[in-house]
Amino acid sequence: MGSGQEAAPITDESRYRLLIDAITDYAIYMLDPDGRVTSWNPGAQRFKGYVASEIIGEHFSRFYSEDDRAAGIPAAALRAAREEGRFEKEGWRIRKDGSRFWAHVIIDPIRSPDGGLIGYAKITRDLTERKIAETALRASEEQFRLLVQGVTDYAIYMLDPTGKVSSWNAGAQRIKGYRPEEIVGSHFSRFYTEEDRASGLPDRALARAAAERRCEQEGWRVRKDGTRFWAHVVIDVIGDDAGGVIGFAKITRDITERRAAQQALETAREALLQSQKLEAIGQLTGGVAHDFNNLLMAVQGSLELVRKRLPHDPRVTPLIDNAMQGAQRGAALTQRMLAFARKQELRLGPVDLAALVRGMTGLLQRSLGPAMRIETHFPRGLALVLTDANQLENALLNLAVNARDAMPDGGAIRIEALPQTLTAKSEAGLPPGDYVCLSVSDTGHGMAPEVLARAAEPFFITKGVGKGTGLGLSMIHGLTEQSGGRMVLRSQVGEGATVELWLPQVRDGDERQVFVGTGAVEQIQPSGPLTVLAVDDDSLVLLNTVAMLEDLGHVVFPAISARDALATLKREQIDLVITDYAMPQVTGLQLADEIRASHPGVALILATGYAELPGGSDPHLTRLAKPFLQDDLARALQEAMARG
């Protein structure tokens, strides 16, 4: 055997002591039955700050705050441990230096074999860092909850994996109308329209979100009260650490107003582009028609004089008549072109619509044929409208022919008028005021939306080649615009078509003669020989005008420009000047103003193919629309001389 000293054996008590003293993350100590500290391990010293000699014998209540001691919490803890066999709780405790820490406390009673209370075993752990983290997390969650609940412009809510609503914010309640207790637990598909639910759109949205981790859509959604709104929807997946789907986050915004504004902007943009296109075509059309009018003026006038001067010849006279008819058809075409360009000569005046339609019903029936039935409806006392009666007759005839062409197997054409009062600007752009809506309806095949959208465009036509110019509705559009109204087209495939002509009612005090329908041709009283100065920069028109005037028995001096005209006025005694309006350098209006100033006794006639003249022009100036015939010229001479 060796001579060294053997180690003393370790008892169970020593082992427990070594174990407890080795623990530094827990404060493990004993209390006597009164709550005084009887043992103290290094863990207690580490995070409470007391060494054993400072704390043994002291009451454990010193680890509590003053408020807790005043409330009797230490005594209550011991009582709970004694009576219930265990006490466990978390709360703030105080270190030696006065700082606080968050403690998890367990107190177990220690009893003797006979059940008597010997004291208490107390284990305390410092969970301050965890408490701070939990507090920060709860604060963050509370802030997020308040944030989500405070949002009212967005519906923000959660769905479980099956699509049932599991949370509901104030924005969702405002936008969709459901309170939380009404909707939580319900399937989110109830927000979709019936047709979307039938097509499986809600399920497809969740499936797409699950597959792609996100789904974004726009579409109609339904509120609690059944009304619809246009929604922008985003669905995001809420996943676990393993990538599984534990739910969905859904954000919905009501963008009905924004969508309506965008649509209105697009409509306005399309209208602007269409307006610019039509304006460009109108400028071109107006210029071409004006020049064509001058050519027709020369052709028509010359043919009229030739037919008048030549004896009847069965081989020649029909050819002249045929040429005259061709020229008249050309004049009608230029009128339509100028109507589209809103440059035709209009004679606006009060018109009795009922009388006008009655006066031309026979003409309409003969033009349409026996397969068509014309129905009219005009209320008693219908107000007069302000428009050009002759142009309106042409418009009605054109609309009736269009209606007939839409009903190849026959049918009914209804012409009616109703008074209308607009208190606000209408969709057609009409300002507030009193109108009469004159409509022509048929029971034909109707128009597809794409055809309806282009029906009033110039040169647009759905008829066969040679069956129209495509200017009829454009002409009518121009007529109503210049009259201060609008043309409105309404049609659906299979339900016929209706063309509405909105015309302004005549204001009280308008003393112009009322047009009540086509009557007898006015008899022109021949005037005595006049000395006339004819002014036109187009030599063909000037020659034709001079020939017409001389044939009427007048002495005529021609002038190719305003300068030539003024020179002639200085040399000759002139009774009347007839001048073209559209001349270079000095217009016919400017020439008329100069003549009024220098020769106030000379009568004046302004010949023009345009209706729109510069503002400030004399409204009493006699105007003669091109192209004109000899009778038109004679009538204008009579009117100008009567005005003096």
CA-to-CA separations, 294 to 453, 543, 614, in angstroms, rounded: 34, 11, 21
Helix extents (H) in 240-345: 256-309, 317-340
pLDDT at 465: 37
Residues 6+ apart with CB under 8 A from 433: 421, 422, 504, 505
Domain ranges for the chain? 12-132, 151-254, 268-340, 349-504, 531-643
Structure token digits, residue 605: 């006639």
Half-sphere exposure of 90 (CA within 13 A, CB side): 9
The reported pTM is 0.41
CATH 3.30.200 fits 268-340, yes or no: no
Does residue 579 surpass a pLDDT of 90?
yes
Going by pLDDT thresholds of 50, 70 and 90, the confidence category of residue 193 is: very high
Structure token digits, residue 92: 């703030």
Residues 6+ apart with CB under 8 A from 174: 152
pLDDT at 429: 73
User: What φ, ψ does residue 139 adopt, rounded to 5°?
Assistant: -65, -40
Angle in degrees, CA 495, 499, 501, rounded to 5:
155
- Distance CA(406)–CA(452), nearest Å, equals 14
Sheet holding 411-422, edge to edge: 372-377, 411-422, 433-442, 497-504, 486-491
CA torsion 359→363→369→372, rounded to 10°? -30
342 vs 43 pLDDT, higher one = 43
Does residue 487 surpass a pLDDT of 90?
no
Give tens-digit pLDDT for 518-539: 443 344 455 578 999 999 988 8
498 contacts 402 by C-beta, under 8 angstroms: no
Provide the b/e sequence for 260-271 (b: ≥16 CB within 10 Å): eeeeeeeeeeee
Does residue 1 surpass a pLDDT of 50?
no
Class of domain 151-254: alpha beta
pLDDT at 419: 92
Half-sphere exposure of 444 (CA within 13 A, CB side): 27
Give tens-digit pLDDT for 430-473: 888 899 999 999 988 877 777 666 655 554 455 443 344 444 57
Residues 6+ apart with CB under 8 A from 522: 635
Does residue 263 surpass a pLDDT of 90?
no
CATH 3.30.420.40 fits 349-504, yes or no: no
361 contacts 374 by C-beta, under 8 angstroms: yes
pLDDT at 154: 85
Q: Which residue has the tokens 């709970």?
A: 80
Around Cβ 377, how many Cβ atoms within 10 Å? 11
455 contacts 473 by C-beta, under 8 angstroms: yes
Which overall architecture, per CATH, does domain 531-643 show? Answer: 3-Layer(aba) Sandwich (3.40)
Among 82, 31, 25, residue whose Cα is nearest residue 59:
31
Give tens-digit pLDDT for 169-188: 888 888 999 998 999 999 99
Residue percentage of the chain with pLDDT more than 90:
31
Give tens-digit pLDDT for 409-422: 888 899 999 999 88
510 vs 439 pLDDT, higher one = 439
Fold match, 12-132 / 151-254: yes
Structure token digits, residue 262: 């965008």
Measured between alpha carbons, how far apart are the two ends of the chain, in Å? 164
- Distance CA(493)–CA(14), nearest Å, equals 104
- Distance CA(245)–CA(237), nearest Å, equals 7
Angle in degrees, CA 497, 499, 501, rounded to 5:
165
202 vs 612 pLDDT, higher one = 202
- Distance CA(421)–CA(433), nearest Å, equals 6
Q: Strands 497-504, 433-442: parallel, antiparallel or unpaired by DSSP?
A: antiparallel
Structure token digits, residue 560: 């190719």
Span 12-132: which CATH code? 3.30.450.20
Query: What length is written for the chain?
Result: 644
119 vs 642 pLDDT, higher one = 119
| Whole-number average pLDDT of the chain | 81
Radius of gyration of the chain (CA): 50
